[in-house]
Amino acid sequence: MLKTVILGPILKLLFRPWVEGEEHIPAEGAAIFVSNHLSFSDSIFLPLVVPRRMTFLAKADYFTGGGLKGRLTRAFFKGAGQLPVDRSGGRASNAALEAGLKVLREGELLGLYPEGTRSPDGRLYKGKTGVARMALEARCPVIPVVMVNTDKVQPTGRIIPKIMRVGVRVGTPLDFSRYEGMEDDRFVLRSITDEIMYALMELSGQEYVDIYAAQMKDRILKAKKAKGRAAVDSATS
């Protein structure tokens, strides 16, 4: 109801999202939508333009924020059927896998970000293999999707989004049935994941970086801290 009656029509009126490749969205049956991740608002605009119900395994932090933004975010994600998951790894990763598989076994659409976190600089980063395992266990197609302009609408740190058009480009579904029964082979999982990331790179035109986005974020943070310490030392010397 929130998507189709309340917030959805308002967002469509304000941001006028366009869709390219809509014919690749299946009318029925389970599928995994894998997307690049440029902005917090990706999880809002992608389900908005897909006519069927789509569930995202959303970061648990989105459901715990305070203030007006936190309440609105929580209300939208709950109303849109998004599931909070812990992305800390280990047992949390297994729980996220099971939550996603439950959605797919019910014949629904699942949205995932194979990079695991937002790109820190607009480039496309190495994918995590959980998406490959999920695709093999659920035996469903994987549909590459790229978000366009969402990083300009709401870059990291911006609370109020800028009003401008956003786009969603849907690619040809990927079929990995040839690897059926090989979900425990880490080399197969990496091969599938790399194929997915290549499809996203081709569809988006983004530069690909063969490290995890989280690692790049750590490097950027360490560089900022080092620069800050150097500035303090220079000022006190």
Is the pLDDT reported for residue 188 higher than 90?
yes
Nearest to 61 by CA among 11, 114, 117: 117
Higher pLDDT, 232 or 47: 47
Asked if the model's pLDDT at residue 169 lies above 90, the reply is yes
pLDDT in tens, 64-107: 767 776 777 677 667 666 777 766 666 666 778 888 999 999 99
What pairing do the DSSP bridges indicate for beta strands 18-20 and 167-170? parallel
Place of tokens 């989280």: 214
Q: How many residues does the chain have?
A: 237
Helix (H, G, I), strand (E, B) or coil at 75: helix
The pLDDT, as a whole number, for residue 10 is 87
Contact status, residue 118 vs residue 129, Cβ threshold 8 Å: no
What are the φ and ψ backbone dihedral angles of 171, each rounded to 5 degrees? -95, 180
Name the more confident of 103 and 5.
103
Q: What is the pLDDT of residue 79?
A: 67
Predicted pLDDT at 145: 97
pTM of the model: 0.87
In the prediction, which pLDDT does 209 show? 97
Note the maximum CA span of the chain: 68
pLDDT at 214 (0 to 100): 92
Complete domains list, the chain, with CATH = 2-236 (3.40.1130.10)
Query: pLDDT-based confidence at 152, cuts 50/70/90?
Result: very high
| Torsional class of 131: left (φ above 0), alpha (ψ -120 to 50), beta (otherwise) | alpha
Say what the pLDDT of residue 86 is.
67
In this predicted structure, which of 49-53, 138-142, 187-191 has the lowest mean pLDDT? Answer: 49-53
Q: What is the CA radius of gyration of the chain?
A: 18
The DSSP-derived string for 92-154 is HHHHHHHHHHHHHHTT-EEEE-TTSS--SSS-EEPPPTHHHHHHHHHT--EEEEEEESHHHHS
Instruction: Tell me the residue ranges of DSSP E strands in the chain.
Output: 18-20, 31-35, 54-59, 83-85, 109-112, 124-125, 142-148, 167-170, 208-209
Query: Using CA atoms, how far apart are residues 19 and 31, in angstroms rounded to an integer?
Result: 18
